[in-house]
Amino acid sequence: MSLNEALHRALLSAASALDDEPLDLRDKDRLEGPAEPMDTDDAAESMAQQERRSLELHAKIEASGVLLPAEDVVERARYIPLRLSYEERKSLRLVVSAINVSDYTSAVDVVFRNKARRQHVQLQQIVAFLTGLVASHDYKEGQALLGDRNFAGAEPLLKTLLEIARRYKITNPEKLRAEYGKLLYLMQDARSGSISPLLGVDVHAPVRTVYALLAHRGGLALLSDERIRTATQEILPDKAKSRTVIQAEIRRKEKALEGLCRDHASSRLSGEEIKLCLYSICDNNSFLNSSLLPIQQCIELLTTHFHPSRVQSRWSLSINEGETGARLSHSHEVQFSYVLQSLHLWAAVVEDMFRLWCLAEEDVLSLEQPYELRETGQGLQRVQQSPRVYRAMHEILAVTKERLQGWVGSSVIHLGDHNVPNALTFIDKYTQVARILAPFARTLANLENICEENDGIKKYVPSSINVCECLC
């Protein structure tokens, strides 16, 4: 058994030992109701199956020399949501507007005299929200709903509408920042054991992914075609490349795309649908390009301007606990490694962002892990165990450690405690990485630009000048 596999197995058993209660999967299918044929793969796949698949995948990846699930196109396609169509965008706007108007979390995540009162408000809010959605979509149906409160007929519509909003969020993690949380908590409550029987409908549908569509139509061979990398790469405006080179790349990409559509279209899978899948994969690559770039730039800044072991006394990276707000004590060498490892970890997480979002959703909406409303020091939060995200993070951490041959500092992943209440708060933090690093990297690049034109700078660089003569 390779080191990687051994690590992986050890982590899985450690992670499952940390779960508070054994997962009871027997009732999962019954509670979710009959799934549509297309979604059978996702809906019925139990965690045990996921585990098995993960182990198989690791063996496969080991053989091909690649380490993370995110690096395999077929595996990644399981979590790449389909691009929204024009019609679906209209539905998206509807749902987003409805959520904007709703005050769900402010009304419900507060202290109540007793549980029954909270349930009452929850039900009121959820019914109002769902009725509003149906009424805006179809006036007559909404009118009927207001009368009899029977959502059964509107269930497919509601499932579709909410699935579209969630799909949009996964592909654009930086959008819908306030709205998505409200929506997810609303759905979490709508599915809970106390509200769901009263509501009479299940508003959850699995997010439509590239893999799900292809599997349903018998087109999975598309993902193993070697042209897929060319057909889904993002052509970036690179200053180093001439216009003709870029034009040639675009033509090559289009050719690969057309070739794939031609060869894999069938009676069940149209060329348009293949294009949709390929564009969705390309969107994923585009997201990765924009989010990973700032991290890579920071890593470059670190490795170019500082050396892991040679220290220039003025520019040492050492920190001491208690000085200038530091909580850790590291020598220059240790701090260098610490920063480098943290940046690599963030890069690995961002690379796997779509999968982690899907898992976070599954954890939050899970019927097996109920949440508890607790005062965490940051207000009332929904504290909930999240085994899927926990496991995935441990995997990513293990692979990062293996690649970097070492780890400085703690490996503790807080999840389900007062620091990080649930999977949503956890994953939301990592969408912030680009927000922190991109402006930083951009500023430093701009700084160079504003100085480089002028060699008058040379007149002003005597080393005796003290740093920080501030202009206030």
Partner 1 sequence: MLGYLCRYVGRAFGGLEEARNLILQDFFCHAFDGSGGDNFYDAGSCIDGRLTSAWNWCSQLSGKSYYGLFKLTGFLSFDGEFDK
Binding site for partner 1 (CB under 8 A): 301-302, 305-306, 314-319, 324-328, 335-336, 338-339, 342, 345-346, 377-378, 393, 397, 408-414, 419-420, 426, 429-430, 432-433, 435-436, 439-440, 442-444, 446-448, 450-451, 453-454, 456-457, 459-463, 465-471
**Least distance in angstroms from the C-beta of 342 to partner 1:** 5
- Is the Cβ of residue 86 or residue 460 nearer to partner 1 in the bound state? 460
Alpha-carbon span 208 to 171, nearest angstrom: 12
- Closer CB to partner 1, residue 260 or residue 420? 420
Q: Which residue has the tokens 């031609």?
A: 262
Q: Count other Cβ atoms within 10 Å, centred on residue 410.
A: 8
Least distance CB 132 / partner 1 (angstroms): 30
Q: In terms of DSSP bridges, do strands 380-383 and 372-375 run parallel, antiparallel, or are they unpaired? A: antiparallel
Task: Name the residue nearer to partner 1 (CB basis): 70 or 437.
Answer: 437
Q: Which is nearer to partner 1, 25 or 447 (CB)?
A: 447
Distance CA 422, CA 334 (A): 31
Identity of the residue numbered 271: G
- Residues 370, 358: Cα–Cα separation, whole Å: 18
Q: Could you give the CA distance from residue 339 to residue 296 in angstroms, rounded to a whole number?
A: 13
Do residues 46 and 28 lie in contact, with contact meaning Cβ atoms separated by under 8 Å?
Answer: yes
Q: Please identify, using beta-carbon distances, which residue of 153 and 409 lies nearer to partner 1.
A: 409
330 forms beta bridges with: 319
Residue 329 has a CB neighbour count (10 Å cut-off) of 13
Provide φ and ψ at 103, rounded to 5°: -115, 40
Tokens of 100: 């904007």
Q: Which residues contact 99 (CB under 8 A, 6 or more apart)?
A: 129, 165, 179, 182, 183
What b/e string do you get for 110-138 counting C-beta neighbours within 10 Å, with b at 16 or more? eeeeeeeebbeebbebbbebbbbbbbebe
Residue 289 or residue 419: which is nearer to partner 1 going by CB? 419
Picking from 157, 153, 163, 152, the residue whose alpha carbon sits closest to that of residue 43 is: 163
Specify the DSSP element, H or E, that contains 372.
strand 372-375
CB of 428 to partner 1, least distance (A): 11
We find the least distance from the C-beta atom of residue 411 to partner 1, in angstroms, to be 7
**Contacting residues for 149 by C-beta, under 8 A, at least 6 apart:** 127, 131
Provide the minimum distance between the beta carbon of 285 and partner 1 in the complex, in angstroms, as a whole number: 23
Cβ distance to partner 1 smaller for residue 94 or 299: 299
Q: Which is nearer to partner 1, 257 or 437 (CB)?
A: 437
Amino acid found at 138: D
Q: How far is the CB of 167 from partner 1 (least distance, A)?
A: 25
C-beta closer to partner 1: residue 60 or 305: 305
- The least distance separating partner 1 from the CB of residue 346, rounded to whole angstroms, comes to 8
CA nearest to 429, candidates 409, 413, 407: 413
Q: Which is nearer to partner 1, 111 or 471 (CB)?
A: 471
Q: Which two tokens stand for residue 422?
A: 């649930």
Minimum distance from residue 184 beta carbon to partner 1 (Å): 20
Shortest distance in whole angstroms from residue 471 CB to partner 1: 6
Q: How far apart are CB 450 and partner 1 at their closest, in Å?
A: 5
